[in-house]
Amino acid sequence: MSKILDDIRYADSHEWVKLEGDIATVGITDYAQHALGDIVYVDMPEVGDEVTKGEEFGAVESVKAASDLISPISGEVVEINEALEDEPGLVNQDAFGNWIMKVKVSDASEIEGLLDAAAYAKICEE
């Protein structure tokens, strides 16, 4: 069973977002990293890039597959998790602790359109 945290929101494309003030931390879910298997590369945006909710911002590659990353929220990338450049497998160890990017949110109301833990759990069961 994949870990699902209650205090964050989820996209149906298996990204999570935690909003603190106007900064959103974004990563892939535990369910996604299990489905992908051993992650060998994380393609991340550059600091200063603009991301748009529902649009691709990078990709995750594993020994089994590659998967596009879809931004759950819009805004400017203010930080990326540089540790993943050298050790992408950190996502497999802790998908929630090893986030991918931090975004200065341009429209905080977008978070309301994301799934809560219970709704995301239902998607994972399908």
Per-residue pLDDT of the chain (126 residues; tens, 9 = 90+): 689 999 999 999 999 999 999 999 999 999 999 999 999 999 999 999 999 999 999 999 999 999 999 999 999 999 999 999 999 999 999 999 999 999 999 999 999 999 999 999 999 998
Domain for residue 112, yes or no? no
What is the number of structural domains in the chain?
1
Residue among 45, 97, 48 nearest 71 (CA): 45
Which residue bears the tokens 């219970």? 118
Domain for residue 15, yes or no? yes
Domain for residue 84, yes or no? yes
Which residue segment(s) compose the domain that 25 sits in?
A: 9-105
Domain for residue 90, yes or no? yes
Q: What is the pTM of this model?
A: 0.95
Domain for residue 20, yes or no? yes
Domain for residue 38, yes or no? yes
Three-state DSSP class for 84? helix
Three-state DSSP class for 6? coil
CA distances from 69 to 21, 37, 83 (A): 23, 16, 18
Distance CA 120, CA 45 (A): 25
Give the CATH number of the domain where residue 92 resides: 2.40.50.100
Rg (CA), the chain: 13
CA angle (25 as vertex; 121, 47 as ends), nearest 5 = 140
- With beta carbons less than 8 A apart as the criterion, state whether 72 and 114 touch: yes
Distance CA 64, CA 32 (A): 12
Domain for residue 124, yes or no? no
